[in-house]
Amino acid sequence: MISEKTLKRIKDRQGNFRWGNDYVPAIFAVPGEAPKTSRVCRLNSRKLGRTLHLLSIPERVFTQLALFNPAVFEIHEQKMLHPLPHVHPLHGHPLALSLSLHPLLGTLAAAKNIGMDHAKVVIETSNGERQWSAYPYLGDLLIYLSEPGASPYAVNWNIKLSKFDFMEKRRSKLKSLEARRKDRERADLRLRLEETYYASAGIRTVNLSLDDIDPIVVANLDQIFGLHDLPLSLDSQLLEDFSHQLQEDFYIGRPPALTAIAYGNKWGNRDQFIARIYQDIWNRTLAVDLFEYIQINQPLVQARCEVIDHYRDFFSETAL
């Protein structure tokens, strides 16, 4: 909800971000902050070393996909779009120190360019006067990537449940034809605002929904992510031997659960050996086909197409 209180909270969390500090999203995935209709989720990422705050199932799905990409080194969720001109999101990052980065236009200027009325809120100044202030819009996911031998870059992901949600705000509500027309216009302007804002700094915006990703991939990523950072107390050499055996089993078509059971019977802690299977898949030690359901009591299917390569357009600096 737009208010002076939420404006202050957003600015306190996002106004002075510098690389090297812990990123703090503008909205936390907790009651009282997230919209009431949100399906909030918090993901603990070993790669980022922090908890990500996500406001919908689609955001969770695409965050897990991004974290699975080795090229992704940072994700900023619920990120403020600055009303006034601002430095490029990569400004100050060690990987980008030698780059010439274009600044962001600012949403006030972007809104003016596309003929959109910018959100605003009444605030009380330090001398007690009340005045209008621009209220910041928030983006879903800004992902940062670094490919070997290439400069780092950012891609903005705008995420919805369905591709049709990009076309009309409050699409599920009963409304008149005039209300529908206005909601479609608002949806279009909001998309153009964010695209214009990021394009001013050379950052591509990609609109993504659950229509764009295979539900089997979604299920598999959720399954392996759940165990990807589970601490294992077993001896490291024993785990290495187990992983080596898993690779042999993988190529001869032996179900990995059989090896986990055998190691568990000998060394105990069978659940840790099972977790190691999923961690080896997450870490790509086992190149499993994520377009087939992962069932460890069955032979794992070798990847015919690497999932990140299949969805490479999502991550590309320019449209493919």
| 319 belongs to a structural domain | no
pLDDT at 169: 73
In this structure, the answer to whether residues 244 and 278 fall within a common structural domain is: yes
DSSP 8-state symbol, 255: -
In this structure, the answer to whether residues 27 and 103 fall within a common structural domain is: yes
Domain termination site, one of 167, 188, 213: 213
Tally of domains within the chain = 2
Residues of the chain with confidence (pLDDT) below 70: 168, 170-175, 178-179
CATH number, domain of 169, equals 3.40.1350.10
| 255 belongs to a structural domain | yes
pLDDT at 115: 96
In this structure, the answer to whether residues 239 and 185 fall within a common structural domain is: no
- Residue 213 DSSP SS3: coil
| 54 belongs to a structural domain | yes
Domain termination site, one of 186, 213, 240: 213
- Residue 201 DSSP SS3: coil
* Amino acid at position 5, single letter: K
DSSP 8-state symbol, 86: B
Q: Sign of dihedral through CA atoms 258, 264, 270, 274? A: negative
Alpha-carbon distance 186 to 190, whole Å?
A: 6
* Amino acid at position 149, single letter: G
Phi, psi of 74 (to 5 degrees): -160, 150
Domain termination site, one of 213, 230, 253: 213
pLDDT at 171: 65
pLDDT at 124: 86
Alpha-carbon distance 20 to 42, whole Å?
A: 22
Across the chain, mean pLDDT equals 93
In this structure, the answer to whether residues 76 and 208 fall within a common structural domain is: yes
What is the greatest pairwise CA distance in the chain? 76
In terms of residue numbers, what domain contains 257?
A: 215-310
Whole-model pTM: value is: 0.93
In this structure, the answer to whether residues 167 and 277 fall within a common structural domain is: no
The two structure tokens encoding residue 291: 């377009």
